[in-house]
Amino acid sequence: MTLKYLLDENVDLVYQNQFLQKNPNYVMWAVGDPGAPPKGTLDPEILCWCEEYGFLLVTNNRKSMPVHLAEHLEQGRHVPGILILNLNLTVGETLDELILIASAAMIEEYLDQIVHLPLPEKR
């Protein structure tokens, strides 16, 4: 099963456009896309949506997302994973990270976790 990404509404759509141009067989939706949560959806509701539909959330939200995830987990819920973008990476570097994750990760590898990009190098 292929990983699916949902871009938070504050993530520039250039990531979605370039990701899908390079990888048309992968799934990357953005908040506000048809079938995705509408713009203005609160973060706790987005986590519920990601859980229901099996999407990893890609976000810039470093401050409140850990709090929302903790509350989500306290309710006995789960989330496929949350990836936090690194503003020091170029769009190309970020896309390389997302492509690596989509092509190599097991679906449950990021379950209930927040992972900051870039991924740590394994030695």
Report the pLDDT value the prediction gives residue 26, as an integer from 0 to 100: 94
* pLDDT at residue 121 tops 50: yes
* pLDDT at residue 113 tops 90: yes
The full set of domain ranges for the chain reads 4-116
Burial class from Cβ neighbours inside 10 Å (0-12, 13-18, 19+) for residue 89 reads middle
Report the pLDDT value the prediction gives residue 123, as an integer from 0 to 100: 35
- Which tens digits make up the pLDDT trace of 32-87? 999 999 999 999 999 999 999 999 999 999 899 999 999 999 999 999 999 999 99
CATH of domain 4-116: 3.40.50
Length of the chain: 123
